[in-house]
Amino acid sequence: MASLPFKDKHKKSSRRAGSGSFLTQWRIFFRQFLKHPGMIGSVIPSSRTLVDAVLAPVDWERARLIVEYGPGVGTFTRPILERMHPDATLIAIDLNLDFVAWLDAQIDDPRLRVVHGSAVDVRRFIREAGHQQADYVLSGLPFSTLPDGVGASICAETRAALRPGGEFLIYQYSRYVLRLLTPLFGGISERLEWRNIPPCRVIRATGDQALTRAA
């Protein structure tokens, strides 16, 4: 069972006054969706209920490196920082320079490293941050609309980037990613979170143990 989230001085810095209103964040999110619909899963940012469901398995007390693919306007980034250990690091990887600039400007937390690039290069970004492997990798990338071969490469690189016992936590609006995960991860679970618009699948993958699969 995951431990209770940490409450420390970093919580304040990750939610500083300049973080922007929900309406401002939604406008930026919507503009980027119109420009890059194949790279953003939904026009509506994830609900807090979905965020809590995806992050539920994380052992915040032990995790020291978390990687997030496609952080966007920080819908998951901020809750991760609020719960994360004072000595942990969060690497947020995004191909969209507008989102990278937004996060850099709006979140002031020394534990956060925002990098511009592809999730395919996750192991390089981990090494550059001074780590060997990640405890958790989080992704909302729309695998069903990524260019041919990119989704499979991301899943393979993620499997290699995770420490033994590490987990790949995914939220998706289709089950497409399961076909990419199955050859690589020994345990895969999924469930549907209805309290999101639209309802979203929460997927958890680990290479080291069997997980219960739910429809």
- Indicate which CATH number applies to the domain containing 120: 3.40.50.150
Whether pLDDT at 12 is above 70: no
Asked if the structure places residue 212 within a domain, the reply is no
Lowest mean pLDDT among 10-24, 45-59, 132-146: 10-24
Q: What is the mean pLDDT of residues 82-86?
A: 98
Residues across the chain: 215
Predicted local distance difference test score (pLDDT) of residue 27: 59
User: What per-residue confidence (pLDDT) applies to 22?
Assistant: 52
Evaluate if residue 31 carries a pLDDT over 70: no
Task: With cut-offs at 50, 70 and 90, classify the pLDDT of residue 209.
Answer: low
**pLDDT-derived band at 13, boundaries 50, 70, 90:** very low
1 belongs to a structural domain: no
pLDDT at 53: 98
List the beta bridge partners of residue 93: 69, 115
Q: What is the pLDDT of residue 1?
A: 46
Calculate mean pLDDT across residues 78-98: 96
Residue 211 belongs to a domain? no
Long-range CB contact pairs, 173-180, < 8 A, 24+: 173/41, 173/42, 173/142, 173/198, 173/200, 173/201, 174/144, 174/201, 175/201, 176/143, 176/144, 176/151, 177/143, 177/144, 177/151, 177/203, 178/203, 180/143, 180/151, 180/152, 180/155
Nearest to 91 by CA among 55, 126, 62: 126
User: pTM, whole model, 2 decimals?
Assistant: 0.82
Q: What are the pLDDT digits (tens) for 153-175?
A: 999 999 999 999 999 999 999 99
Q: What is the structure's pLDDT at 25?
A: 55
| pLDDT for residue 124 is more than 70 | yes
Query: pLDDT-based confidence at 205, cuts 50/70/90?
Result: very high
Q: What is the pLDDT of residue 207?
A: 82
Q: How many domains does the chain have?
A: 1
Does residue 147 lie in a domain region? yes
pLDDT, residue 45, reads 75
Q: Is residue 96 domain-resident?
A: yes
The answer to whether position 102 is within a domain reads yes
Residue 133 confidence (pLDDT): 98
pLDDT at 66 over 60: yes
For a pLDDT cut of 70, what percent of the chain falls above it? 76
> Domain range holding 152?
9-206
Task: Report pLDDT for 187.
Answer: 96
Residue 197 lies in a domain: yes
pLDDT reported for residue 191 = 97
